[in-house]
Amino acid sequence: FLSSRLAWAKSSKDPRIAAGQQSPLEKKILNLGGVHTTAARQLITQKYQEEYETLCREQALSLDYW
């Protein structure tokens, strides 16, 4: 069941999308020592902030959102 749910990720050509530990963000986190390290937490916080800013920017430009 799980493998059929992730089939789209395995067949995707987008390098940002991967099933399991192949995603670039997961590789960076593992290289930093895992999710419990300070460096990994800072990276996750930075990525969250970037995503939030992008979301806000896209919402501000979207007529459908308003």
Task: Name the maximum alpha-carbon separation found in the chain.
Answer: 42
pLDDT value, residue 19? 61
pLDDT in tens, the chain (66 residues): 455 666 666 666 666 666 665 678 888 888 999 889 999 999 999 999 999 999 999 999 988 876
Nearest by Cα to 40 from 31, 51, 49: 31
- The Cα 59–Cα 57 span in angstroms is 5
Nearest by Cα to 8 from 19, 24, 16, 23: 19
pTM over 0.85: no
**Token reading at 39:** 């460096």
Nearest by Cα to 42 from 15, 24, 50: 50
